[in-house]
């Protein structure tokens, strides 16, 4: 029997200006494609449009939309049907990282002062950058402690 989790807390990722500038790259490729169409370089224009579509699809699929704390897991909602789940039984701690962080980076800032490091028991750490780091950590740790209390073995 499948029991659906309730949402405890939800936060949006904080995108900094550097990452936003990278996300604008497909617009420049479209401009180049239009230029190549004007100068009758149809093969170059087609290639540039294909590269733009591929880049936009990758950006859409991998950039986080939401960070969601549920009753029994933490979820990173990506584009469309894609998401990353970290069940609480595999979550060790969620903290502010110190020093270099290595793991799966769903961080949307280049600054370490906004990053949350989720340490898993098995697997690599997960790094994220919620809009309100302190409130996110408070809600995630509260949900994790509640889950641990109710799932004592």
Segment 36-78, tens digit of pLDDT? 888 888 898 898 899 899 988 988 898 999 999 999 999 999 9
**Same-domain check for residues 50 and 111:** no
Other residues' Cβ atoms within 10 Å of the Cβ of residue 45: 18
For the segment 77-95, what is each residue's pLDDT rounded down to a tens digit? 998 899 999 999 999 999 9
The domain of 37 spans 18-61
**Same-domain check for residues 101 and 37:** no
Residue 33 to residue 76: CA distance in whole angstroms = 34
What is the sign of the dihedral through the CA atoms of 11, 119, 98 and 19?
A: negative
Per-residue pLDDT band at 153 (split at 50, 70, 90): low
Residue 49 to residue 33: CA distance in whole angstroms = 6
For the segment 17-32, what is each residue's pLDDT rounded down to a tens digit? 888 888 888 888 888 8
**Same-domain check for residues 41 and 82:** no
**Same-domain check for residues 126 and 109:** yes
Other residues' Cβ atoms within 10 Å of the Cβ of residue 88: 19
**Same-domain check for residues 131 and 70:** yes
Can you say how many angstroms the Cα of residue 28 is from the centroid of all Cα atoms in its chain?
24
**Same-domain check for residues 111 and 55:** no
Q: Can you tell me the mean pLDDT for 146-153?
A: 84
Greater model confidence, 113 or 43: 43
- The domain tally of the chain equals 2
Q: How many Cα neighbours within 13 Å face the side chain of 92?
A: 9
**Same-domain check for residues 82 and 132:** yes
For residue 91, the domain's CATH number is 2.30.29.30
Greater model confidence, 112 or 74: 74
Residue 90 phi, psi dihedral angles, 5° rounding: -110, 5
pLDDT of residue 3: 61
Q: Can you tell me the mean pLDDT for 110-136?
A: 89
pLDDT of residue 23: 83
pLDDT of residue 135: 95
pTM comes to 0.82
pLDDT of residue 1: 44
Domain annotation covers residue 1: no
Can you say how many angstroms the Cα of residue 92 is from the centroid of all Cα atoms in its chain?
19
Average pLDDT over the chain reads 88
Domain annotation covers residue 127: yes
pLDDT of residue 140: 95
**Same-domain check for residues 145 and 96:** yes
């Amino acid at each position: 029997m499948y029991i659906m989790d309730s949402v405890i807390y939800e936060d949006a990722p904080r995108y900094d200006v550097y990452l936003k500038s990278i996300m604008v790259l497909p617009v420049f490729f479209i401009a180049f494609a239009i230029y190549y169409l004007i100068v009758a370089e149809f093969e170059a224009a087609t290639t540039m449009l294909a590269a733009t579509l591929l880049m936009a699809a990758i950006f859409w699929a991998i950039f986080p939309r939401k960070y969601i704390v549920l009753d029994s897991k933490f979820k990173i909602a990506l584009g469309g049907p894609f998401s990353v789940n970290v069940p609480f039984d595999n979550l060790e701690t969620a903290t502010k990282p110190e020093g270099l962080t290595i793991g799966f980076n769903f961080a949307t800032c280049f600054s370490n002062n906004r990053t949350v490091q989720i340490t898993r028991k098995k697997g690599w750490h997960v790094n994220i950058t919620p809009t309100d780091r302190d409130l996110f950590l408070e809600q995630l740790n509260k949900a994790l402690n509640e889950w641990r209390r109710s799932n004592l073995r």
